[in-house]
Amino acid sequence: MVRIERNTFDNASENVSEIYDTLDGTVFYRLSVWRKILIMKIHETTLILTLKTYLMKVHKMTFIMTLIGATVLILVSALIISSRPAPEATSVPTSASPSTSTTPPIGKDADSFARKLNLDQRDNGVSCRQCNLTGASLVEVDLEGADMSAAQLWNADLTGARLTNANLTGTDLESALLKDANLVGANLSGAKLFSANLSGADLSGASLIGADFFDADLEGVIGADFTGALNVANKYLGGEEKPVQFEFVPVIPNNKD
């Protein structure tokens, strides 16, 4: 009798435990579902949707404002850089030594020479003192009464030039070509005429005191008075050219033995 009642009690306890477990699981499941539904409902409300839309707009506006600000900054920087003055270029010193002549080289043609001439208003003559006309081409140039004292006319071509009454005192005419030049009344005192070609030149009334005609070609010179001139070949003075004499000196051997 006692055994039967105990078994019945045990069975009832087990059934109650199973029902409790079942109810507990169902309640928690339903609570979880309701929580999710509630969250979804909350997210779907007008307030939440409005808030989300506002935040998205704010994010977009922030991005646009940042982009505009960066563009403006770049443009301003470019304007500042472009408005800066360019650095001044430093002059590079030249290695060439300065010319000792007071007058710069005039050029090797008659046109540039004529453009550089200085007119003396007192006598309407041309002034070109100490001019550097080395190698200049002055064929048939008209320099009547010109002051060309101490000028550099080395190797210049003055063929047929008109130098009437010109002042050529101390002028360097070495290797110059003065063929058929008109030097009537010119002052050539102290001029250097080494190896110059004066063939056919008219030297009537020209002053040749101290002029050096070493190795100069004076063939056919007209009216020249070589009084006081230097190194004029004898054949141009009316005499005959004398051959160079060599003196033979015998060599005597020195025998010390």
Contacts with 191 (C-beta within 8 Å, 6 or more apart), sequence order: 168, 169, 170, 171, 172, 173, 210, 211, 212
Indicate left, alpha or beta for 136 from its phi (over 0: left) and psi (-120 to 50: alpha): beta
Q: Which amino acid is at 54?
A: Y
Query: Quick one: tokens of 41?
Result: 């409902």
Condensed to tens digits (0 to 9), the pLDDT of residues 138-157 reads: 899 898 998 989 999 999 99
SS3 at position 252: coil
Q: Name the nearest CA neighbour of 161 among 180, 133, 147.
A: 180
- CA atoms of 167 and 205, how far apart (whole Å): 13
**27-41, 122-136, 186-200: range with highest mean pLDDT:** 186-200
- Model pTM greater than 0.75? no
Condensed to tens digits (0 to 9), the pLDDT of residues 194-241 reads: 999 999 999 999 999 999 999 999 999 999 999 999 999 988 887 554
Q: Which amino acid is at 164?
A: T
Domain 105-235: which CATH class? Answer: mainly beta
**End-to-end alpha-carbon separation of the chain, Å?**
180
For residue 108, name the pLDDT band (cuts at 50, 70, 90).
Answer: very low
SS3 at position 124: coil
Query: Quick one: tokens of 36?
Result: 């999710």
- CA atoms of 233 and 243, how far apart (whole Å): 12
- CA atoms of 246 and 249, how far apart (whole Å): 9
